[in-house]
């Protein structure tokens, strides 16, 4: 469990690992790359692995009984698929063994100020997914680098109203990733008893991870998991 004010001094390598959703989303990854990534997650005991939809069954098999959760992405990376397609993709992912779903909002509809569409799009995924698997976790990707602060606030409100579990900064496949300013804004405009915050995109070092936690993040999407956790262990041992 995260301390109220996470710092290097009060964090442990184990707690740091449990903040990480290890990302295996590059389009050129082979099946062996996915298997190796899942083995790394099992070794480091991350919170979860986030794989491409077609890799969910494979990841679920590799991570069975390890305590590492399996997640995937929905409407990725642009968020422009129809609501019905996002729902179908979500239900397929749950049937394949995922328990966490990171869905991309419809960015164009948000920028058109069609907040009802954005809210209903999220709510449809939340309601259908939780009906299929009540304990599943829905994270809503805003793609903050494409949004104004006002749009970020509206997106957070839509996600909260729709019953999402997390708001997330980025896909990691657009013009920018997580920033501390965005994390603070997302934390300020959501109810922490209802919605958590995930930082994703560009978090590659231990100091960056800790800074994200201090800015309000609860989870970190990263691919540099081994480097981050190993750095934590090394620095703790040298104290």
Which residues are identified as catalytic? 168, 198
According to DSSP, the β-strands at 100-104 and 20-24 are: unpaired
Contacts of residue 121, defined as CB under 8 A and 6 or more positions apart, other chains included, come to 83, 86, 105, 106, 109
Q: Which residues of 8-21 are buried (b: 16+ CB within 10 A; e: fewer)?
A: eeebebeebbbbbb
Q: Where are the alpha helices (DSSP H) in the chain?
A: 13-17, 31-44, 56-62, 83-96, 107-111, 115-132, 149-161, 180-188, 206-214, 225-237
Q: Which residues of 193-213 are buried (b: 16+ CB within 10 A; e: fewer)?
A: eebbbbbbbbbeebebbbbbb
Residues paired with 48 in a beta bridge: 21, 69
- State the distance between the two ends of the chain, measured CA to CA, in whole angstroms: 23
Angle between helices 31-44 and 225-237 (to 10 degrees): 30
Determine contact, residues 189/160, Cβ cutoff 8 Å.
Answer: no
């Amino acid at each position: 469990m995260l301390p109220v004010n996470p710092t290097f001094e009060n964090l442990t390598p184990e707690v740091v690992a449990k903040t990480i959703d290890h990302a295996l989303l590059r389009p050129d990854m082979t099946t062996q790359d996915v298997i190796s990534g899942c083995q790394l997650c099992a070794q480091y005991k991350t919170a979860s692995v986030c794989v491409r939809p077609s890799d969910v069954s494979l990841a679920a098999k590799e991570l069975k009984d390890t305590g590492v959760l399996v997640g995937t992405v929905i409407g990725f990376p642009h968020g422009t698929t129809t609501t019905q397609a996002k729902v179908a993709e979500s239900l397929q992912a749950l049937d394949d063994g995922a328990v966490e779903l990171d869905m991309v909002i419809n960015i164009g509809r948000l920028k058109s100020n069609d907040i009802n569409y954005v809210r209903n799009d999220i709510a449809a995924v939340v309601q259908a997914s939780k009906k299929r698997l009540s304990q599943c976790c829905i994270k809503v990707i805003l793609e903050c680098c494409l949004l104004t602060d006002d749009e970020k606030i509206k997106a957070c409100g839509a996600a909260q109203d729709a019953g999402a579990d997390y708001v997330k900064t980025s896909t990691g496949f657009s013009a920018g990733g997580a920033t501390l300013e965005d994390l603070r804004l997302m934390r300020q405009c959501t109810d922490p008893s209802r919605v958590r915050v995930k930082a994703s995109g560009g978090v590659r070092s231990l100091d960056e991870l800790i800074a994200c936690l201090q800015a309000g993040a609860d989870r970190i999407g990263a691919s540099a998991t081994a480097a981050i956790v190993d750095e934590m262990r090394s620095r703790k041992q040298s104290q």
